């Protein structure tokens, strides 16, 4: 396993290129199942999760090649309709193959995802949506087994706004007979890009970008190409790094329109932020102010940025409350931040943060993707040396983060070894 060794206190300056969005790619890749042909997804990030999804799709008979951030998928030879446990346990997003497999082949056998570092993450909304569209769905020995001679359009109303369930419902409905209405659909940019991609494949979808999607089923779709949107969580993570470490950094290939909540909170905390059509520049505040945040569905402050915000607030002036209204127990990073000298209490789904003058380097353990990001950020400003262990979590969702941070002036290096 690898670890990062960081010597804190360096000022960050310069520009950093933002990669394609992990959570868009993980939806676009399974969407190609819906048509037989060759698709090219450009601006695809080189991430462990993309490798994991590629391995899963290859077991189904899809030929996949990644060259220079363009993923080419050939879906003409699909001959297996299963997502085995050994793949799904590595990545929950594997469940995205359920909808397209049932829609195009009338069958799917997908392992139930395990929990993750911060607790259970049910898939009931995915299953209910596929059932509503006419599939027979049973749970057999930890697998979702779905069958359908064909799918019929239906009205689907999600009690809870769910990114994944919206994605699966959309991908299942585009080949169903008749009209499907999806109410309380997620409007995250990654879902809007999925809907746009399905339209490019020949699907008929109205209401893109709204939480009411109307789908007219068609008989078949054709392969299409796409350019993945920038990763708004990677962008947000680098903006927080800019606010933390002084100096001025510019994100290139970023979409400010996907970052409105993050930008507003960073300005409240004292940062100066400006943007063009594809860049965002942040000037660190002279004095970092404490600002409360409640993570909620888009366009609210993203839950995937909650841990990074807590690292920022750990050294802000005053006290703040960081609440997560999506996941009630996504606070595994807190005990590790405490080891760096932060002053934080967690109660229910909120972290109560009292800013301290400085953090002190220590060995800390990554537990999940975004928790790892918050530990890296804390290490950048902690006095002395911080070692962040088990950075494979980070490699799931950040492309070459240590190279990008080093290019901005950070003193961070990856050390490969077995014992940590
Ligand atoms: C997506 O996960 C993202 N992953 C997550 O990002 C992100 O944290 C999450 O959306 C929320 O924004 C991908 O897009 C691959 P949900 P997803 O279904 O689709 C509950 C990262 O760090 N729920 O929107 O799994 C669920 O428990 C990852 O990049 C049900 O109850 O999230 C949660 O409380 C982590 N039943 C809420 O809905 C269901 O069937 C939102 O989850 C499905 C979800």
Which regions in the chain score pLDDT beneath 50? none
For residue 312, what are its two tokens? 């920022």
The pLDDT value given to residue 36: 98
Query: pTM of this prediction?
Result: 0.97
Contacts of 58 (CB under 8 A, 6+ apart): 64
- State whether the beta carbon of 123 lies less than 6 angstroms from ligand 1: yes
Domains in the chain: boundaries:
3-19+230-415, 22-227
Nearest to 282 by CA among 53, 15, 72, 92: 15
Would you tell me how many other CB atoms lie within 10 Å of the CB of residue 75?
23
Instruction: Name the H helices within 13-160.
Output: 22-31, 48-59, 85-88, 98-105, 124-132
For residue 210, what are its two tokens? 């709204």
pLDDT digits (tens, 9 = 90+) for 164-181: 999 999 999 999 999 999
The pLDDT value given to residue 120: 65
Residue found under tokens 């800019």: 242
For residue 122, what are its two tokens? 């049910």
> In whole angstroms, what separates CA 252 from the centre of its chain?
19
The pLDDT value given to residue 121: 72
- State whether the beta carbon of 164 lies less than 6 angstroms from ligand 1: yes
Nearest CA owner, ligand 1 atom 42: 162
CATH for 3-19+230-415, among 3.65.10.10, 3.30.200.20, 3.40.50.720, 3.40.50.1970?
Answer: 3.65.10.10
Q: Which atom of ligand 1 is nearest to the CA of 91?
A: 15
**C-alpha span between 50 and 39 (Å, rounded):** 16
- State whether the beta carbon of 420 lies less than 6 angstroms from ligand 1: no
Nearest to 298 by CA among 222, 392, 190, 187: 187
Residue found under tokens 């898939």: 123
Query: Is residue 242 within 8 Å of 33, Cβ to Cβ?
Result: no
- State whether the beta carbon of 48 lies less than 6 angstroms from ligand 1: no
Q: Which of 49, 326, 333, 398 best tests ligand 1's pocket when mutated (most atoms within 8 Å of CB)?
A: 326
Mark whether 245 is an active-site residue.
no
The pLDDT value given to residue 333: 96
- State whether the beta carbon of 162 lies less than 6 angstroms from ligand 1: yes
- State whether the beta carbon of 105 lies less than 6 angstroms from ligand 1: no
**C-alpha span between 217 and 181 (Å, rounded):** 11
CATH for 22-227, among 3.65.10.10, 3.40.50.300, 1.10.3720.10, 3.10.450.240?
Answer: 3.65.10.10
**C-alpha span between 43 and 22 (Å, rounded):** 10
Fold match between domain 3-19+230-415 and domain 22-227: yes
Q: Which atom of ligand 1 is nearest to the CA of 302?
A: 12
Nearest to 202 by CA among 183, 228, 224: 224
The pLDDT value given to residue 330: 95
Q: Which atom of ligand 1 is nearest to the CA of 397?
A: 29
The pLDDT value given to residue 104: 98
116, 200, 338, 346: the catalytic one is: 116
The pLDDT value given to residue 1: 85
Q: Which atom of ligand 1 is nearest to the CA of 368?
A: 22
Q: Which of 123, 161, 162, 323 best tests ligand 1's pocket when mutated (most atoms within 8 Å of CB)?
A: 162
Dmax of the chain from CA atoms? 64
């Amino acid at each position: 396993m690898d670890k990062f060794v960081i010597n804190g206190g360096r000022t960050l300056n310069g520009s950093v290129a933002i990669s394609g969005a992990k959570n868009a790619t993980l939806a676009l890749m399974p969407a190609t199942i819906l048509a037989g042909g060759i698709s090219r997804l450009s601006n695809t990030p080189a991430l462990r999760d993309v490798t994991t999804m590629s391995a899963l799709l290859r077991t189904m008979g899809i030929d996949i090649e990644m060259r220079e951030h363009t993923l080419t998928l050939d879906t003409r030879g699909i001959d297996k309709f299963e997502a085995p446990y050994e793949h799904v346990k590595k990545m929950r997003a594997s469940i995205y193959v359920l909808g397209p497999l049932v829609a195009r082949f009338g069958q799917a056998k997908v392992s139930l995802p395990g929990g993750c570092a911060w607790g259970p993450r049910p898939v009931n909304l995915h299953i209910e949506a596929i059932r509503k569209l006419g599939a027979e769905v049973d749970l057999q020995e930890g697998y979702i087994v779905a069958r359908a001679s064909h799918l019929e359009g239906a009205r689907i109303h999600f009690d809870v706004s769910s990114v994944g369930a919206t994605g699966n419902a959309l991908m299942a409905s585009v080949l169903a007979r008749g009209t499907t209405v999806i109410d309380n659909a997620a409007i995250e940019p990654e879902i809007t890009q999925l809907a746009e991609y399905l339209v490019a494949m020949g699907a008929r979808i109205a209401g893109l970008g709204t939480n009411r999607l109307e789908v007219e089923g068609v008989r078949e779709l054709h392969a299409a190409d796409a350019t993945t949107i920038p990763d708004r969580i990677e962008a947000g993570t680098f903006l927080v790094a800019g606010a933390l470490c002084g100096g001025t950094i510019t994100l290139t290939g970023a979409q400010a329109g996907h970052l409105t909540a993050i930008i507003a909170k960073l300005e409240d905390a004292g940062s100066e932020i400006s943007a063009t059509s594809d860049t965002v520049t942040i000037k660190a505040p002279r004095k970092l102010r404490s600002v409360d945040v409640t993570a909620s569905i888009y366009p609210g402050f993203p839950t995937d940025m909650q841990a990074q915000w807590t690292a920022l607030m750990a050294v802000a002036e005053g006290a703040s409350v960081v609440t997560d209204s999506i996941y009630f127990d996504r606070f595994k990073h807190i005990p590790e931040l405490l080891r760096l000298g932060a002053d934080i209490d967690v109660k229910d789904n909120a972290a109560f943060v009292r800013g301290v003058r400085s953090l002190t380097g220590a060995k800390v353990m990554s537990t999940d993707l975004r928790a790892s990001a918050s530990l890296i950020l804390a290490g950048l400003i902690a006095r002395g040396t911080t070692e962040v262990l088990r950075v494979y979590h980070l490699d799931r969702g950040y492309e070459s983060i240590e190279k990008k941070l080093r290019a901005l002036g950070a003193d961070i290096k990856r050390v490969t070894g077995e014992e940590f």
